[in-house]
Amino acid sequence: MKLPFSEKFLGFSMGFLVFLFAACSQNQPVSGQSDGGGKIYAEYCAGCHDGGVVGWISGAPQTGEASEWKPYFSKGLDKMTASAIKGPGNMDPKGGCDQCSEEQIRSAIEYIQEKTL
Ligand code: HEC
């Protein structure tokens, strides 16, 4: 399979994944952080929702692309939070953040909303 990406872009994506891995391995507690939404997003959601190869393969709506998110946000945050906790389509339940509370998932979605709409 030939991916429609330049080597430069792939290199960037790999660098980004390494960065994400480094960010994850700092082993900070998820709860009790003032900017919880952004932190959770960066650690658990950005891999798919911030573009790059994984996001492209999974088909995740991309943060910053209002047209991709509109159909979801039109349902309202309550329904989106409930759906994200169950794990829609190719997304893992809670986006893989098993220890995240409903509030934390919601604040990560609010962060996406802030960056997108
Ligand atoms: C493995 C990749 C992956 C990860 C990690 C991931 N998502 Fe998703 N997400 C998806 C995909 C794919 C969809 C589209 C699902 C569909 O509609 O079929 C989606 C959809 C969503 C939706 C819309 C759900 C709906 O039905 O209204 C929300 C909200 C969301 N993600 C939030 C998050 C949050 C918050 C995180 C981090 C805690 C996260 N995602 C992590 C892949 C991912």
CATH of the domain at 83: 1.10.760.10
Q: What's the domain range around 74?
A: 35-116
Asked if residue 12 belongs to a domain, the reply is no
Residue identifier of the C-alpha nearest atom 12 of ligand 1: 60
pTM attached to this predicted model: 0.79
Mean pLDDT of the chain: 85
Residue owning tokens 């391995």: 25
Asked if residue 18 belongs to a domain, the reply is no
Task: Using a pLDDT cut of 90, give the percent of the chain over it.
Answer: 68
Residue identifier of the C-alpha nearest atom 30 of ligand 1: 84
**Out of 14-23, 37-46, 96-105, which region has the weakest mean confidence (pLDDT)?**
14-23
Residue 65: which residues within 8 A CB-CB, separation 6 or more? 116
Asked if residue 3 belongs to a domain, the reply is no
Domain count, the chain: 1
pLDDT one-digit tens code per residue, 45-99: 999 999 889 999 999 999 999 999 999 999 999 999 999 999 999 999 999 999 9
Distance of CA 65 from the midpoint of ligand 1 (Å): 14
